[in-house]
Amino acid sequence: MGKLQNKIYVVTGANSGIGLAAAESFAEQGAEVVLVCRNEARGRAAQQKIQQTSGNENIHLEIADFSSLRSISTLADRLLARYPRIDVLCNNAGGANAGRKLTAEGFELTFATNHLSGFLLTKKLLPSLLDHEGDPARVVFTSSLGHKNSPLDFDDLGLEKDYGTLKAYGRSKLMNLLTARELHKRYGDSKLIASSFHPGAVRTPIWSKGGILARLIGLVMYPFMWSIEKGADTFIWLASAEDAEVLSAEGSYFFDRRKPRIAQFATDEAAAELWHVSEQLIEPYFEA
């Protein structure tokens, strides 16, 4: 029996890396954990590993494709039907892509996977996140120092003009930071704590999936990278600790349990505009 007993945690991108490490920690602390994964075989392996290491059988698996808004919409419907109350949503799923690709629904892949799907999931789960008589619910976004790479171009969110792997990834991580900020602005008074964080340069598979440049960066930096456990520390802290800094996060961005400086272009105005544009883009899938 841990301090998170009777709490429901939903963790996306939970079959490897910091998502798996965080889910394992929540399970060890007694939470009922929902692992949201794209690959069923890897998801089952993660589920079994967590159950064995934590001794917690309340570990569930949901399969969803974050490159498909329709898939995420149906995932949200399943979660809403099963969980009238969700205590913590960890928006961790994401990745990098070597070249510009479009999803079947016509969105640039990094934009859809790293931002739009998490935004849609968060919006649809608000009834369960805001249904709290006790402790406030929490929503944690995995952002990155890469958010400083480039400001958003609202005339070209799909990067048709000048695509680059690091630019696409960095802008999507900026969107995660801005979404956490705007989420707090809109729902902070409704007992919802939102935050985002940079895990550090962590030894995860993401470096092998972003093309030649990302693989080279990963190869050169690997000896200096943080372990997965250290990278997950701030994630776990924001999602489960009762520290004053966490309870008063107010949409803030963290690194190593501190609030570093963020990009000058990560403004309230950009957050509000991104929220408005994103709502328009997900509208056809909201009731899908």
Place of tokens 């498909």: 68
Query: What single-letter amino acid sits at 137?
Result: A
Sign of the CA dihedral 209, 211, 212, 218? negative
Asked if 34 and 92 count as a contact pair (C-beta separation under 8 A), the reply is no
Q: Do 113 and 95 form a contact (C-beta atoms < 8 A)?
A: yes
Token couple for 239: 């999602």
State both tokens at 198: 């940079």
Active-site residue 285, yes or no?
A: no
CB 147 within 8 A of CB 174: yes
Distance CA 282, CA 70 (A): 9
Q: Which amino acid is at 57?
A: E
Q: Which position among 9, 83, 163, 169 bears the catalytic label?
A: 169
Tokens 């939970």: give the residue: 14
**In whole angstroms, how large is the CA radius of gyration of the chain?**
17
At 284, which helix (H) or strand (E)? helix 268-286
Q: Checking DSSP bridges between strand 253-255 and strand 192-198, what pairing results, if any?
A: parallel
Which of the residues are catalytic? Answer: 169
